[in-house]
Amino acid sequence: MTDGTTRAARLAHPLARDALRQITQDRGGCIRPVQLRRTDLDTGQVTQILIPCGATLDTTCPACAKRARSLRAEQCRDGWHLENEPADPAPAPDDQQETWLTLRAHAQVRRDQAAAAGEDTAELDQLIAELDDELARTGIRGSLTRTAAGTADYQQAGRARRARSTRHRQDTPDLPRRPVSSRTTGKVYTAPDGTRYRPSMFLTLTCDSYGRVRDDGTPADPGSYDYQRAARDAIHFAALFDRLIQNLRRYLGYDVQYFAAVEPQRRLAPHVHVAFRGAISRADLRQVIAATYHQVWWPSTDTVRYDTGQAPVWHEGTGRYVDPDTGELLPTWDQALDAIGIDDQPLHVARFGPKFDAQGDAASATSRSTSPNTSPDATAPTPTRRPTTPPGSWMRSATNPAHRPAGTGSATASPPRTRDPA
C-alpha cells in the first residue's frame, strides 16, 4: 500500500540502514559492531553483547579508527621517555597452579606413550582438555599443547609441513647475531654539564627503483617499467618490514621499540616512516637493510595456461575449478604450494632500496625540555642535519599525533655538546 507519492519521490528518501549508519557515525559510534553471546553458567541466561569492531582504517569504521589513533598517540607520549622497563616480571606459579601443571604433564606423557603404541587417545585427549580448562581457571595463560607445523598432531590432521629452503642467500651479506636482552630502552649519553640524553631516530625507507618516472609518478617508459616487481613488492611490503624489525633486534641485541606509518609514493610504491626509541648508527642501519629480504614461495607464473578466452570452469560438486576441455580437476592453491620442492627457487624476493633517510633526535632522559641534537653515527660530536619540521611527505601522511615531532620528543637544533657513554 502506498501513500500516493511517486516512485521517484520515495527513492529520494534515505534508506533506514543508511540513516542509522549516518547517525551512528555522527555520534562517534562503531558502525560494524561484533555481536557476542554471553551465557551465565549458573542460571543459563543468555545475553547478547555488542563490542566495537576495533578497525584501524577510516574507510572501515571511522569511530574505531579514531580511537585507535588516539590510543597509539597516548602510548607514544607516555612510553617514549620512560627510563625503566614498563613490564613487570611474570610471577612464579603458586601451589595450586603447580599441582595442576604436574597433573597436566603426567597426562601428556601418558598420551604420547599411547600414541606411540598406536592406541586410542580419545579419553586422554578429553582429560588433557579438562586439565587445560582447570589451568585457565587458576590464571595460567597460554596453551601447553604443541600445534606447530611439523609435529605429529599437525601431520596427522593432514597438514604436512611444507619444506622450504632456509639457506642464506649468497647475494645478501651476512648479518651477525647477538644475544637479545629483554630491555626496550636505548643507550643513554651524558653531556659535560651532567645532563643525560637518550637519543631517538627517524628513519624513512622505500622500495628500489622500477624505472624512471615523471613528476606525476607515471612511468616515463611503460615498456621497460617493471610493473610486476612493483606489484609484488607492494603486496609483501608488510612482511619485508617485519623482517627488518626482526633483524634489527637480533643485530642490536635488544627489543627495539618503534612507531611507524606506511604511505604510497607518487609512483604508488610503499614507503615507511619509522620513529625508533633509541639511537641506531647509520652504519648499522645500512648493514641491516642490505641484509634484509623476504622470499615469496608461490607457484611459478612463467607459463600462462589459460588466457582470457579460455578460463577454468567452477565445479559446484567438488568446490574446485576444472579444465574446460578435459574436465580434469585443477590443483588448489594449497596443493600448488605443496608441490614446491626444497630445491625450487622463490617466485619473488622483496628488498628495500639502497637509499634511506635517517635523522637523529635527542630527548632528555630526565626531562622533556628542548635538548641538543646528537648524531648516532660518530663517537665525536657532530651536528645532526635535522630540520625544524619533518619532510613534507611525513607531514602529509602523519595525521596521527603520535608521528608529530611534538609527541615524540623531537627538539630543535642547537650547538652540539661532547657526549660520553653513560
- Helix (H) / strand (E) element for 100: namely helix 95-116
pLDDT at site 28: 86
Q: Judge if pTM exceeds 0.75.
A: no
Cβ within 8 Å of residue 416, ≥6 positions away = 372, 373, 374, 375, 381, 382, 383
Backbone angles phi, psi at 133, to 5 degrees: -65, -40
pLDDT at residue 329 is higher than 60: yes
Q: Check whether 14 has a pLDDT greater than 70.
A: yes
Q: What is the pLDDT of residues 345-392, one digit of tens each?
A: 899 999 999 899 998 876 544 433 333 333 333 333 333 333 333 333
C-alpha cell at 420: 660520553
Q: Specify the higher pLDDT residue, 311 or 414.
A: 311
| Residue 176 CB contacts under 8 Å (≥ 6 apart), including other chains | 251
Bridge partners, 49 (sequence order): 36
pLDDT number for residue 374: 34
Tell me the per-residue pLDDT of 385-394, one tens digit each, with 9 for 90 and over. 333 333 333 3
Is 418's pLDDT higher than 50?
no
* Residue 394 or residue 311, greater confidence: 311
* DSSP codes of every residue in 376-389: SS-SS-------SS
Each residue's pLDDT tens digit, 49-69: 989 999 988 889 999 999 998
Higher pLDDT: 272 or 77? It is: 272
| Radius of gyration of the chain from its Cα atoms, rounded to whole angstroms | 28
CA pair distance 103, 231, nearest whole angstrom = 53
* Sign of the Cα pseudo-torsion (247, 196, 405, 85, in order): positive
Domain edges within the chain:
23-79, 95-156, 189-297+349-421, 313-345
Q: Which residue has the higher pLDDT, 50 or 309?
A: 50
Mean pLDDT value of segment 18-25: 85
The predicted pLDDT at position 77 comes to 81
Q: How many other β-carbons are positioned within 10 Å of the β-carbon of residue 239?
A: 13
Region 166-185: what's the mean pLDDT? 76
Between the two ends of the chain, the Cα-to-Cα distance in Å is 83
Mean of per-residue pLDDT scores for the chain: 78
* High-pLDDT (> 70) share of the chain, %: 78
**pLDDT tens column, 212-251:** 999 998 999 999 999 999 999 999 999 999 999 999 999 9
**SS3 call for 173:** coil
Is residue 135's pLDDT more than 60? yes
Percent of the chain with pLDDT over 90: 29
Burial of 337 (0-12, 13-18, 19+ CB in 10 A): middle
Is the C-alpha dihedral spanning 295, 299, 304, 309 positive or negative? Answer: negative
Q: Please report which confidence band the pLDDT of residue 3 belongs to, taking 50, 70 and 90 as the band edges.
A: low
